[in-house]
A and B are shown apart, each in its own frame.
Chain A
């Protein structure tokens, strides 16, 4: 925030002649004037990512012993990628480290939602709903964010947010209109059949009519933008790369969606998690490839893009009895995109000594993930300071973290 405030102020002064104004509307004004067309992509990593495995705190004296046989280091055949002298990045994430060097990636460490129990499904519900506790699955924070986008901005006029994959994730469910798209593997259905079915649904089943209409609309854009797109491969990396490639094309289109959510499964590494190579390494390589697909596919729009990859909670600091990690608390969030003021770690490091761990087992969460997300929504999507509290109810203690966006 600090970096773009002076610029916005100058502009505002010219227009208003120095009148007082609510500063929270400032970025909104500035954005409208410079005609940005921002993109925002949320990737949910289901299963709980091991933040200490993905972004090892190499400089913490307790780390190597706690993570034991799967701990990473800056030496050896596959060394971790240095970030800032204290933290390093998993060697699988070569694209992310490049973006970090180009100030287009930020990593938040020791972060978590307000959820402090260890159920995946409640944890994901809290992560995606944006509520302070479990049990609310009526709407997701990204959907509520869409519903309070400032009127008149280009993004608000760009239609519905996009859920990628066979099912719409909770983060995008709710009152604001959402659509879904998944790559096709069967021959196309005749338009005529679709139209007859739609007419039948309009008479007999309004809910299915709505769903089918959206399906037909989004497929039209997809087919136009991506002739011959087909999912390929069955491996972990392709399973993330393929939907990202398709979603990037939709988001890049002039009349395509501007906001999207994807979910990648498989992060629940209880056994044989692996270190520089192995299961987690594969998963991180997939995520890294997906981010690279967004960068490539969005082209010129990448400079106005933010991708966030978030997970329901972290994993135990200490390796368990099966060379994996059990459900924990604090973890990392990855931010990537040309709109970021990147190249930095955001971490209030709690330490890893026994008494510094949460319940003596997990990395403590010292940064509220909601503060990060709120900061992004405010500065990147120009959501007002009053509206943002409705997007993340009961989160006033987690003040929006400013300065993430260039």
Chain B
């Protein structure tokens, strides 16, 4: 295999995918023979984006389970308080009538304590399913797209148990079905998902002039409305004002999640609560939206999805993620045009990204994200993990805890964020740990050949050849520029 075709294979596998699988996969050779076709093949299978697994639960089932735990906890607390009140009353009696023998108090047995470990178990099951899934495809382009969109529309498990327990389901239900579909559908699925409504507080936002607003003490919260425009669609310079944020916040009042009492539907599902919705027409980006219940917000979302600023913002982020920290303007413009002309057809946009010559000629200078690095490592050694803890710990150590970015803008997408002294130190420690785990079971030269083939530098080959142990050589393969950059 010539160095040139190997280089193109690395673009296919590393820039667009999760890296070559080791063992006898033949990924590098397959990618070298038809690099573009190797990447695009995954786009033709209509269900390739889904993740269906009988052990994973739907959002409404997960939230119902959480509601049950919360109710159980309330009942337990009430019983404990009651018992201590009874105890105090009994003690008082004894003190005032010391001559009588106190009768044993008939205490009711306490109800069982809720087991909140279930929340962490559900989270780990989702994490494992996602990680395992990334090991299956030859290239992994679709899985890379899933992680891209999941970071674009991020939620954070740190928000609370309602988001933690649904973090994985959010990605499966709102992101995956649409990564090769229409952006407008993706946007609506995301903004109406309970995880997002909890994360950015819209579930509790109430129109000041709505029936609930007039009666109650709660009111408007503009968090979700702002981030939809700033981070999900238009971008911060997309041409909106504070007045637009407030108007949009009013438009989506009433978008909430059904609670345990099931007043507005199945507990744990999205619902439109007309009682909390700000009545009347609203003006957003110089367009007036008449009062139309949930459709008022859906229409506004559709218009945001089609806004020219959105096309530009999405195109820039895609090119920055896949191609270069400083995205080539020509490629950004091209993708923005495809986005506009196809009415946000993400399959067309993704295909255009892969087909562009710039995507193949721009040098592989980006550092793999922590998640890409871990997945590529275990793919290389053909070790699909069977438990997620080590992965989750390593991601946290590298500053990228799964489904837990520092803010609603997600994890950074540039070398500056990851190629840091502390970040590289963490990678080296993790590579060291992986190498120690694999022990002497793996041949580092085979691993290097699977990962980089003829593109491996003479210096790297020499360094590997002179390593004092197989373990040390494996750590060096994982830390090599050939493996770290994509």
Q: What is the interface of chain A, defined by CB distance below 8 A to chain B?
A: 46-47, 69, 117-122, 134, 163, 165-168, 173, 179-182, 184-190, 192-194, 196-197, 199-201, 203-205, 207-208, 211-212, 214-215, 218-219, 265-266, 268, 270-271, 320-324, 326-327, 359
Which residue of chain A has the shortest Cβ distance to B468 in the bound complex?
Answer: A192
Q: Which residues of A contact B481 (CB under 8 A)?
A: 200-201, 204-205, 208
Q: Are B421 and A200 in contact (CB under 8 A)?
A: no
Q: Are B472 and A180 in contact (CB under 8 A)?
A: no
- Interface locus among B32-40, B42-50, B59-67, B215-223: B215-223
Q: Are A265 and B424 in contact (CB under 8 A)?
A: no
Which residue of chain A has the shortest Cβ distance to B236 in the bound complex?
Answer: A119
Q: Which residues of A contact B20 (CB under 8 A)?
A: none
Q: Are A186 and B409 in contact (CB under 8 A)?
A: no
Complex: how many Å from CA A34 to CA B388? 57
Which residue of chain A has the shortest Cβ distance to B221 in the bound complex?
Answer: A322
Chain B nearest Cβ from A112, distance in angstroms: 16
Q: Which residues of B contact A204 (CB under 8 A)?
A: 457, 459-460, 480-481
Q: Which residues of A contact B416 (CB under 8 A)?
A: 168, 173
Complex: how many Å from CA A35 to CA B416? 36
Interface centre among A168, A200, A320, A321 (most CB of B within 10 A): A321
Q: Which residues of A contact B393 (CB under 8 A)?
A: 185
Q: Are A327 and B226 in contact (CB under 8 A)?
A: yes
Complex: how many Å from CA A186 to CA B434? 12
Q: Are B432 and A193 in contact (CB under 8 A)?
A: yes
Chain A nearest Cβ from B369, distance in angstroms: 12
Chain A nearest Cβ from B394, distance in angstroms: 9
Chain A nearest Cβ from B142, distance in angstroms: 28
The residue that B219 contacts in the complex, of A207, A265, A322, A327, with Cβ under 8 A, is: A322
Q: Are A122 and B463 in contact (CB under 8 A)?
A: no
Q: Which 10 pairs between the two chains have the least Cβ-Cβ distance?
A: A321-B219, A166-B399, A215-B421, A205-B481, A182-B422, A186-B429, A214-B421, A180-B422, A180-B421, A215-B425
Complex: how many Å from CA A399 to CA B219? 41
Given A134-B236, A193-B476, do A119 and B230 touch, yes or no (CB 8 Å)?
yes
Chain B nearest Cβ from A163, distance in angstroms: 8
8 A–B contacts from the bound complex (CB under 8 Å)? A121-B407, A185-B397, A193-B432, A212-B428, A265-B406, A271-B201, A322-B219, A327-B222
Given A203-B459, A270-B201, do A186 and B407 touch, yes or no (CB 8 Å)?
no
Q: Does B484 contact A (CB under 8 A)?
A: yes
Q: Does B398 contact A (CB under 8 A)?
A: yes
Identify which of residues 381-414 in chain B touch chain A, using a CB-to-CB cut-off of 8 Å: 393, 397-399, 406-407, 409, 412
The residue that A122 contacts in the complex, of B206, B236, B397, B428, with Cβ under 8 A, is: B236
Complex: how many Å from CA A366 to CA B184? 43
- Determine chain B's interface SS by DSSP, over half rule: helix
Q: Are A166 and B398 in contact (CB under 8 A)?
A: yes
Q: Are A271 and B236 in contact (CB under 8 A)?
A: no
Q: Does B114 contact A (CB under 8 A)?
A: no
Chain B nearest Cβ from A222, distance in angstroms: 10
Q: Which residues of B contact A208 (CB under 8 A)?
A: 419, 424, 481, 484
- What 0/1 readout, one digit per residue, does chain B (429-449) give for beta carbons within 8 Å of chain A? 110110000000000000000
Q: Are A189 and B460 in contact (CB under 8 A)?
A: no
Complex: how many Å from CA A117 to CA B213? 27
Q: Are A186 and B221 in contact (CB under 8 A)?
A: no
Count chain B residues whose beta carbon lies closer than 8 angstroms to a beta carbon of A.
58
Complex: how many Å from CA A383 to CA B459? 46
Q: Does B479 contact A (CB under 8 A)?
A: yes
Q: Which residues of B contact A199 (CB under 8 A)?
A: 463
Complex: how many Å from CA A199 to CA B201? 50
Q: Are B419 and A167 in contact (CB under 8 A)?
A: no
Q: Are B206 and A321 in contact (CB under 8 A)?
A: yes
Complex: how many Å from CA A118 to CA B241? 10
Excluding A119-B236, A200-B463, A207-B415, 7 further A-B contacts by CB distance (< 8 Å) are A69-B217, A181-B421, A184-B425, A187-B433, A192-B468, A201-B481, A321-B221
Q: Which residues of B contact A179 (CB under 8 A)?
A: 421
Complex: how many Å from CA A365 to CA B422? 36
Q: Which residues of A contact B420 (CB under 8 A)?
A: 163, 166-168, 180, 211
Interface centre among B217, B421, B423 (most CB of A within 10 A): B421
Q: Does B101 contact A (CB under 8 A)?
A: no
The residue that B397 contacts in the complex, of A167, A181, A186, A320, with Cβ under 8 A, is: A186
Q: Which residues of A contact B463 (CB under 8 A)?
A: 196, 199-200
Q: Which residues of B contact A323 (CB under 8 A)?
A: 218
Q: Which residues of B contact A214 (CB under 8 A)?
A: 421
Complex: how many Å from CA A151 to CA B25? 59
Given A186-B397, A193-B475, do A211 and B424 touch, yes or no (CB 8 Å)?
yes
Q: Does B467 contact A (CB under 8 A)?
A: yes
Q: Are A359 and B242 in contact (CB under 8 A)?
A: yes
Q: Are A320 and B220 in contact (CB under 8 A)?
A: yes
Q: Which residues of A contact B423 (CB under 8 A)?
A: 166-167, 180, 211
Q: Are B459 and A211 in contact (CB under 8 A)?
A: no
Q: Which residues of A contact B433 (CB under 8 A)?
A: 186-187
Identify which of residues 463-486 in chain B touch chain A, using a CB-to-CB cut-off of 8 Å: 463, 467-468, 472, 475-476, 479-481, 484-485
Q: Which residues of B contact A189 (CB under 8 A)?
A: 428-429, 432, 475
Q: Are A322 and B484 in contact (CB under 8 A)?
A: no
The residue that B476 contacts in the complex, of A163, A200, A207, A211, with Cβ under 8 A, is: A200
Q: Which residues of A contact B397 (CB under 8 A)?
A: 166, 185-186
Which residue of chain B has the shortest Cβ distance to A321 in the bound complex?
Answer: B219
Q: Which residues of A contact B476 (CB under 8 A)?
A: 193, 196-197, 200
Q: Does B358 contact A (CB under 8 A)?
A: no
